[in-house]
Amino acid sequence: MQHSKNDEGVDFGSLSQLRDEIRVRVHLAQLDAKEKWQELETQLLGLEHKVTADGGSIAGATAQLAKELKQSLLDFKERLSA
């Protein structure tokens, strides 16, 4: 691609290159976010299954897992907002 500049010295070729680099990074970030979400959703489904199997009771190790998962979900939500 030709790098042409306007009268103000703006290099349009470098702008296109920057755009392409950002596009790739956004795509990769989306893939990472989807992967993390699938991981968290799987953990949540597992926790829901365990709680159901335990008669709806959340105690001991299950309660600790629930707290950790909640924090992970909150952290993930915060990263999505950033």
pLDDT over threshold 50, residue 77: yes
Task: Give first-to-last CA distance, the chain, whole Å.
Answer: 33
Structure token digits, residue 34: 């989807």
Give the pLDDT confidence score for residue 55 in this predicted structure: 87
Structural contact between residues 66 and 47, judged by C-beta atoms closer than 8 angstroms: yes
Alpha-carbon gap, residue 31 to 16, rounded angstroms: 23
pLDDT value at 3 more than 80: no
Assess contact for 43 and 14: CB atoms under 8 A.
no
How many whole angstroms separate alpha carbon 31 and alpha carbon 22? 14
Angle at 74 (CA atoms; ends 39, 48), nearest 5 degrees: 55
Least reliable range by pLDDT among 6-10, 31-35, 42-46, 63-67 = 6-10
